[in-house]
Amino acid sequence: MRVLVTGANGYVGRAVVAALRDRGHEPIPMVRASGRVGEPGPVRVADLHDPGSLRNAVRDVGAVCHLAGRTRARESLADPLGYFRANTTGTLALLDAMESAGVRRIVFASTGSVYGTPDRQPMTEDLPPAPPHPYAASKLAAELALESFTAITLRMLNIAGGSDPDPTRLLPRALTSAGCGTPLTVNGDGSAIRDYLHIADAADAFAAAVDHLPAIERAVTYNIGSGVGSSVKDVVAAVERVTGRPVPLEYRPAAPEPAVSISDPSRAIADLGWSPRRSELEELVRDAWTTQNGILR
């Protein structure tokens, strides 16, 4: 199937383009400006706020993987309207272009943070949404707009591994601390637990969802995660084991964030034939460390 991939120059987008190609699909990367996406083949330049370019981008494709958008929860608190413009209005513009072109199939990148801070862990898809910040709310609003399409929404949490370009995330910061000896700042006592998913497992979930699109008749949602929780201290310990170097810690007051956030991916495993095969914490850390240091396996 020919699949348009929005946000194809991003961390996850590049991996999705590669995963689709490996699965036998023909990915068509969509980017905001001309540039390399790490894969051969044609690239379409379009902007979610330019209807004309979107109509040109969605021509003659069978489906869309929609990953373009803004993704930083704390940043969204300072710029809520910007996040709704990018994630909600931008998605509506894409859906409008798809409808005009007769393209009804879409896989949408959303976030497990739409559940807020539920007591029940791990989180399942039947939990009621309770978005705690504009980022999650903007993604949830976009999800609701997908209801009239043949759509699969993938709610993901903490993607890691490979060449993660975001220096604000825990694993890149911990690896930098190990490599340079600079202190890693930790909010609270380091006991906050998160679900970490390997970038390759996330990309494989998108490819599996594209394969599953012909089998569905309505919009469906899946949690995509490892199903395993790791604390900040667990991540630090894994980094120290993998690198053989200490990670000095600098503690700050606890931030207002969930103590535990773990995804239950069992529905995706059952329906999509997908599984998080590379998300064991030490393997994930080793992969990120190898990539960061440019070491070929």
- HEC readout, 20-59: HHHCCCEEEEEECCCCCCCCCCCCEECCCCCHHHHHHHCC
What is the maximal distance between C-alpha atoms in the chain? 56
Of 135, 196, 222, 251, the active-site residue reads 135
Structure-block tokens of residue 40 = 């051969």
Q: What is the dihedral sign for C-alpha 167, 284, 36, 154?
A: negative
In the annotation, is 115 catalytic? no
Residue type, 7: G
Asked if 235 contacts 289 with a C-beta cutoff of 8 angstroms, the reply is no
Nearest-angstrom CA–CA distance, 153 and 219: 8
Q: Where are the alpha helices (DSSP H) in the chain?
A: 11-22, 51-57, 73-78, 80-84, 90-101, 134-145, 170-180, 199-212, 232-243, 266-272, 281-292
Q: Which residues pair with 270 in a beta bridge?
A: none
CA distances (Å), 262 to each of 27, 70, 121, 143, 193, in order?
31, 22, 6, 21, 8
Give the CA-trace dihedral at 232, 233, 239, 240, to 10 degrees. 160
Active site residues: 135
